[in-house]
Structure 1
Amino acid sequence: MALSVSQQAKYWGIGMAVTVFLLWLLGGILLPFITGMAIAYFLDPTADRLEAMGFSRIWATVTITVVALFVCTLLVIILIPQLVQQTAALATAAPEYIQQLQTFLAGKFPSLMDENSAVRQGIESFVEGFKGRAGEFASAILASAFSIVDALIFIVVAPVVAFYMLLDWDRMVATVDSWLPRDHLETIRGLARDVDGVLAGFVRGQLTVCAILGTFYAIALMAVGLQFGLIVGLVAGLLTFIPYVGSVIGGVLAIGLALFQFWGTPEWIIVVAVIFVVGQMVEGNVLTPKLVGGSVGLHPVWLMFALSAFGTLMGFTGMLVAVPVAACLGVFFRFGISQYLDGRLYTGLIGKRVDSQDDDVILTKESDTNG
């Protein structure tokens, strides 16, 4: 006996609520597994290409894993020490930069830096609160995501999960497909194709854009001798996920630091600004059209809301899954809107009468033709 629509909706709603609750309950534990799954999904097209070249799935997976481990090892050896050093140095130098800004404002705009000025009181309050805590601030930034034990578990578990999921990805997709309810098979498959298109085009493509831009900004800023160029470049690259935010925040940070460092040589300040202009031109005209293409993106407001909401509910794990989940919800929302626009709830009785009149006209024309 087939289930009614209301019964199906009830059971699917209960299943979704239980899934969300388990994700919230196990948020911290799931981090290495979600990361491994994301890595496997990101690398699956590469494995498919290697298979097309004649590799077996196991050898394609092994090849990708060896290359990825080699690249990650190089990054850990070269990048992490520099990142830690620059983060600590930036935390230490921040009060000095603020004092220099205060001195500059006092000389150029005396009224702003009056003793009773809100600007001066705010700067002094910030400096006093920051002094003596630079080391604590840097440590908090570096240790906020993981404890030492969690980091070790993450480093060991995530690559193992990624390896096995990449190895069995096609088989897992086929298995999940066999579990789909037969009454809604084509609808669910269509939604799955749309979700995959959004994730592949927007999330996977945008991640690649972020990595390329972050690398470009970091190398270019370090090449011109900007202090903390590595941090600024990586921040700008990561925030590229949110349109315009990455370039604006990265550009403001870089130009602000350049003003302090290159005040006597303004040409270098211009060079720093040009780096971000070039980065935005390359992103808009080359990277995004090639890697992201015409896939449906996410509105910046919706993206920031998703990051805030999932980060509050699930911590770092929530921020990791926020963008993919937001992209999937966008697909489901658009599907729901299309169903609503085609349904009786939207068209009402007027739509029903119009459809009936159209059917009567068609039947009349057919009868006249047959007559």
Structure 2
Amino acid sequence: MNKNDIKKYIFIAALAIAVCVISQNFHVLANFVSLVLGAMKPLVMGFMIAYIFNILMNYFEKHYFPKSTSKAAAVTRRPVCLVCSFAIAIAMIILVMYIIVPEIAKAFGVLYAEIPPAFTQVRDFALGKLGEYPEIQEQISSLEFDWTTIAEKGSKLLTSGLAGILSSAMGIIGGLTSAVANLVLGLIFAIYLLLRKDKLFRDGNRIRRAYFSEESNARFSRIFHTANETFQSFFVGQFVEAIILGSLCFIGMKILKLPYAAMSGTLVGVTAFIPIVGAFIGAGISAFIILTESPMHALIFLIFLVLLQQFEGNIIYPKVVGGSVGLPSIWTLAAVTLGGGLFGIFGMILGVPLAATLYKLSFNVLEAKEAAEGIAPPEDKKPKKPEKTKKPQKPKKVSRK
């Protein structure tokens, strides 16, 4: 055997030993991977925040004294644009909370006031209809709905299970503290990435040129360019689509004179960031809150939003998001389902652009393979031949006699 054969067999043997060791100690590897992912969570969160805010910051940088060559403009461009981006995001969050929170509090106040009388009406109706069943009437008449009694029973339940509740409360507080700490660290890391992004890009390009071949660099560049283009198109399109859907919901509810129009339009627009199912989540919450005002209004709202969702899904979404992402509906649904099952809401949001990126890259590879093998593309992929324009005929000369 030559040296290459020996190296190949040594590699195969080492790989077999590694597989056996990992299979026998899989729980140790799983714990180690979980620990590493938990430690990397702030960095991943910071990278996601930086990528989203970079889209907005690039827009400001293009309009911040674009023709100026002064040193002051060059030095202040990045910090000023970064501050403007975060200020707009914070202002939007405050505006959304200012619209949604008071309306939800008002709805729960209505529930608190209306549930006991509604319960009494239902009980009296049941007693009137069940005159032939005195035993059932006796059981129903003994039922009472009183918030004071419910509060007393709740306090007794809390007191009896105090140890479990304290442990649960400590767990909730610990989880909330960890989430806040991860968010703060992610924001700090995102600010650093945004302020130093030019140097980071230059260093990354130097490393690629030093350690990889030109062919590998070209392949990496195509992948990164496709992914960046798809993700940016998705986030921008999803933001525009959410604003359009929320505005149409608000205008339609005002025309139909439905209650909670501002809150419902804002909630539907915010939840529309989640592809496919987001608007329905916002519609369910809004319908429940409108139900506290009038069941008929809630029914009208649901019918209106179903029609609006059909209009949005067939006309607005394909024009604003679908064309730029380029992912068929069936794969969009699969990406949302799989991403939500694995990573929750963030998985549902990021699953669509990630699936669209893989979809585009796989079809680029397929088309290149077909071209190399001399296989003709499908009929719908063939470029259309330009129509031949007829040459204008010269006017006939009229002979004058």
User: Shorter-chain TM-score category?
Assistant: 0.5 to 0.7
- The answer as to 2:32 corresponding to 1:32 is no
Deviation at 1:44, TM superposition (A): 4.5
The question of whether the paired residues in 2 share the 8 Å contact of 1:255 and 1:273 is answered with no
Match of 2:394 in 1: none
Match of 1:354 in 2: none
| Aligned partner letter, 1:165 | L
Match of 2:56 in 1: 43
The question of whether the paired residues in 1 share the 8 Å contact of 2:46 and 2:189 is answered with yes
**Residue 74 and residue 36 in structure 1: after superposition, are their counterparts in 2 closer, same or farther (change >3 A)?**
closer
- The answer as to 2:91 corresponding to 1:74 is yes
- The answer as to 2:191 corresponding to 1:191 is no
Tell which deviates more after alignment, 177-186 or 73-82: 73-82
**Residue 183 and residue 272 in structure 1: after superposition, are their counterparts in 2 closer, same or farther (change >3 A)?**
closer
- The answer as to 2:186 corresponding to 1:161 is no
Tell which deviates more after alignment, 251-260 or 68-77: 251-260
| Aligned partner letter, 1:302 | W
Look at both structures and tell me which one has the larger radius of gyration over its CA atoms. Answer: 2
**Distance (Å, rounded) in 2 between the aligned partners of 1:62 and 1:310:** 35
**Residue 71 and residue 52 in structure 1: after superposition, are their counterparts in 2 closer, same or farther (change >3 A)?**
closer
Tell which deviates more after alignment, 43-52 or 273-282: 273-282
Deviation at 1:292, TM superposition (A): 4.0
2:241 pairs with one of 201, 206, 209: 209
Deviation at 1:46, TM superposition (A): 0.9
2:78 pairs with one of 61, 65, 70: 61
What does residue range 216-227 of structure 1 map to in structure 2 within 5 Å?
A: 217=249, 226-227=259-260
- The answer as to 2:272 corresponding to 1:239 is yes
TM-score (normalised: structure 1): 0.56
Deviation at 1:297, TM superposition (A): 3.3
**Distance (Å, rounded) in 1 between the aligned partners of 2:107 and 2:173:** 19
Report the 3-state secondary structure (helix = DSSP H, G, I; strand = E; otherwise coil) of the residue aligned with 2:327: coil
2:293 pairs with one of 243, 246, 261: 261
**Distance (Å, rounded) in 2 between the aligned partners of 1:174 and 1:79:** 39
The question of whether the paired residues in 2 share the 8 Å contact of 1:216 and 1:233 is answered with no
TM-score (normalised: structure 2): 0.52
**Residue 227 and residue 158 in structure 1: after superposition, are their counterparts in 2 closer, same or farther (change >3 A)?**
same
**Residue 334 and residue 322 in structure 1: after superposition, are their counterparts in 2 closer, same or farther (change >3 A)?**
same
**Distance (Å, rounded) in 1 between the aligned partners of 2:301 and 2:340:** 36
**Distance (Å, rounded) in 1 between the aligned partners of 2:83 and 2:251:** 25
Report the aligned-residue RMSD.
5.3
What does residue range 12-161 of structure 1 map to in structure 2 within 5 Å?
A: 24=37, 26=39, 28-50=41-63, 53-54=66-67, 56=73, 58-80=75-97, 83-84=100-101, 93=111, 147-161=175-189
**Distance (Å, rounded) in 2 between the aligned partners of 1:67 and 1:334:** 39
Match of 2:162 in 1: none
**Residue 51 and residue 169 in structure 1: after superposition, are their counterparts in 2 closer, same or farther (change >3 A)?**
farther
Runs of at least 5 residues in structure 2 that lack an aligned partner in the other structure: 1-7, 16-28, 130-149, 159-167, 376-401
| Aligned partner letter, 1:332 | L
Match of 2:361 in 1: 332
Report the 3-state secondary structure (helix = DSSP H, G, I; strand = E; otherwise coil) of the residue aligned with 1:234: helix
Deviation at 1:246, TM superposition (A): 4.1
**Residue 83 and residue 258 in structure 1: after superposition, are their counterparts in 2 closer, same or farther (change >3 A)?**
closer
The question of whether the paired residues in 2 share the 8 Å contact of 1:90 and 1:228 is answered with no
| Aligned partner letter, 1:61 | R
Show CA shifts across 1:116-164 (max 9, x none).
xxxxxxxxxxxxxxx989xx9xxx9xx9999432343355334433333
**Distance (Å, rounded) in 1 between the aligned partners of 2:248 and 2:61:** 28
Report the 3-state secondary structure (helix = DSSP H, G, I; strand = E; otherwise coil) of the residue aligned with 1:173: helix
Report the 3-state secondary structure (helix = DSSP H, G, I; strand = E; otherwise coil) of the residue aligned with 1:226: coil
**Distance (Å, rounded) in 1 between the aligned partners of 2:342 and 2:190:** 25
Show CA shifts across 1:201-257 (max 9, x none).
2233223322553466468759956349636742454235424x4445545654565
2:327 pairs with one of 285, 290, 298: 298
Deviation at 1:293, TM superposition (A): 7.4
Runs of at least 5 residues in structure 1 that lack an aligned partner in the other structure: 1-6, 111-130, 348-371
| Aligned partner letter, 2:327 | L
**Residue 52 and residue 321 in structure 1: after superposition, are their counterparts in 2 closer, same or farther (change >3 A)?**
farther
**Distance (Å, rounded) in 1 between the aligned partners of 2:64 and 2:239:** 24
Report the 3-state secondary structure (helix = DSSP H, G, I; strand = E; otherwise coil) of the residue aligned with 2:323: coil
**Residue 81 and residue 207 in structure 1: after superposition, are their counterparts in 2 closer, same or farther (change >3 A)?**
closer
Report which structure shows greater RCO (CA 8 Å, sep ≥6).
1
Give % identity: 17
Show CA shifts across 1:278-297 (max 9, x none).
687578667863x5473233
